[in-house]
Structures are given as structure tokens and as C-alpha cells.
Amino acid sequence: MASSEPRPQQENQGQQDQRPRPNPQQPHQPQQPQQHQQQQRPRIDPELLTKMAWKIYLAEVSEEGVALIGDNDAKELSRRCFRLAEIFAEEQMRRR
């Protein structure tokens, strides 16, 4: 009976291994629409983007507190703020 217990585990492992594996052709298909989508992105005014990102950054720093944000966290936060501002501006342009 001890030998019958590992079999279901092995069968389950085989099923688990099969689930996360994508089809080798699938990674190429999603990349093509992303490239196509990036080409269609509207041009965002850099000054507007900077102002929006700065406002987001100030709000985050005010909420967390300057003393609690280290240099590396501040760099990551600034990147995220610019990305958030970019996403917002793109959506705003789509809705106009």
C-alpha cells in the first residue's frame, strides 16, 4: 500500500507540471500585439507627464513620510509615479 500512495502524487505532479507550461508558440503571439499597441501609443507631453508624476510623488511621500522612504524606495516610487501618470494620460486621451 505504501507503493500505491506515491502514484497519485506522481500523477498530480504531472498534471501540475502541465498546467503552467505555455505552448512554445504562445509567447510570440502576445508579443506581437504589444509591439503593435506600443506603436499606436499617443505622444504625451513630457511637461504634463512630469507635473502629474510630481503630484503623485508628493502625495505618496506625504502619506508615507519623508523619514520612512529610503533612497532606493524613492527611486522606485518615482518610476511608479511616472508610469501611473503615463497610464492616466493615455486613458484620458482615449476618452476625449
Instruction: Report yes or no on 47 lying in a domain.
Output: yes
pLDDT classification of 1: cutoffs 50, 70, 90:
low
Full residue range of the structural domain in which residue 78 is found: 43-96
Instruction: Report yes or no on 94 lying in a domain.
Output: yes
The answer to whether the pTM exceeds 0.75 is no
Burial of 52 (0-12, 13-18, 19+ CB in 10 A): buried
Burial of 44 (0-12, 13-18, 19+ CB in 10 A): middle
E strand residue ranges, the chain: none
Instruction: Report yes or no on 18 lying in a domain.
Output: no
Instruction: Report yes or no on 77 lying in a domain.
Output: yes
pLDDT tens-digit series, residues 9-32: 444 444 444 555 555 554 455 555
Number of folded domains in the chain?
A: 1
pLDDT tens-digit series, residues 31-69: 555 555 555 767 889 999 999 999 999 999 999 998 899
C-alpha cell at 6: 506515491
Count of positions (residues) in the chain: 96
Instruction: Report yes or no on 27 lying in a domain.
Output: no
Instruction: Report yes or no on 3 lying in a domain.
Output: no
